Amino acid sequence: MAADPEALNRRGALAAYATETAACTRCRLAEGRTQVVFGVGDPGADLMFVGEAPGFHEDQQGYPFVGQAGKLLDKLLGGIGLTREDVYIANVIKCRPPGNRDPQADEIQACEGHLFRQLELIEPKLVATLGNFATKLLSGKPHGITRVHGRPQETTLGGRPITLYPLYHPAAALYTPAMLRTLEDDFRRIPELIAEGTSPPAQVIQFPTAVPQAPLPSAEQLGLF
């Protein structure tokens, strides 16, 4: 089958951007990292996950979600018939914060352009934000994940309509069984949300612009002549 030129362009543009980002020094995290953890998966995915920041294993291996939280993410994906090759996975912050501390506001600000560029290039229909940092950044609202998880929100990112779907972070669910059950429940809605995002817009019914009229009576018929 002939390669899809749009998919090839997208792959090329994302790879070029990853190469550029590998040398990023926009914030202090550049000093302590082993490498930039750009993102992984299908550049044309309809579903994109956005986590927080790389941890120890991600920093070592160069891929997001390869530690314990990543194993849980893989399992949750498997539960809805997907693998990580079917989706795209990235983080708000591309470099590991020392000791896995929370990202700081100026680090998020310095790094957000990378995430927004990824969103522009990948053009996902559904973006599942994992935890507070991704949810607050992409929704532009201060509401915490406990309040908004499992509630899809329509928004515009990179000039395109996107459905945001906030979820608990898998790392938080690892040790809290109630949170894990909620995360599993929320995950189950993902296939339906992808289908809604990818279905063509509802058919627009066209009404005729001119309503047919009965012919007007002639001047003779009206007795004018």
Structure tokens belonging to residue 124: 């996902």
Site track for ligand URA across 65-84, x = CB under 6 A: x-x-x---------------
User: Is there binding between residue 52 and ligand URA (CB under 6 A)?
Assistant: yes
Which is closer to ligand URA, CB of 51 or CB of 124?
51
Site track for ligand URA across 118-137, x = CB under 6 A: --------------------
User: Is there binding between residue 55 and ligand URA (CB under 6 A)?
Assistant: yes
User: Is there binding between residue 173 and ligand URA (CB under 6 A)?
Assistant: no
State the DSSP H helix or E strand holding residue 51, giving kind and residue range, or none if neither. Answer: strand 47-51
State the amino acid at position 117 in one-letter form: R
Among 53, 87, 110, 173, binds ligand URA (CB under 6 A): 53
State the number of binding residues for ligand URA (CB under 6 A): 12
User: Is there binding between residue 58 and ligand URA (CB under 6 A)?
Assistant: yes
Considering only CA atoms, give the Rg of the chain: 24
User: Is there binding between residue 40 and ligand URA (CB under 6 A)?
Assistant: no
Q: Residues 156, 116: contact at Cβ < 8 Å? A: no
Residue partners of 134: CB distance under 8 A and separation at least 6: 50, 51, 52, 91, 92
DSSP 67-85: SHHHHHHHHHHHHTT--GG
Which segment (1-9, 60-68, 110-118, 149-157) binds ligand URA by CB under 6 A?
Answer: 60-68
Residue partners of 68: CB distance under 8 A and separation at least 6: 171, 174
Pairwise CA distance, residues 49 & 54, whole Å: 14
Give CA 208 to chain center in angstroms.
40
- Reported as half-sphere exposure (CB side, CA atoms, 13 A), residue 10 has a value of 18
Pairwise CA distance, residues 98 & 143, whole Å: 26
Which is closer to ligand URA, CB of 40 or CB of 197?
40
Site track for ligand URA across 84-123, x = CB under 6 A: -------x--------------------------------
Among 64, 97, 166, 197, binds ligand URA (CB under 6 A): 64
Residues that bind ligand URA (CB under 6 A): 51-55, 58, 64-65, 67, 69, 91, 171
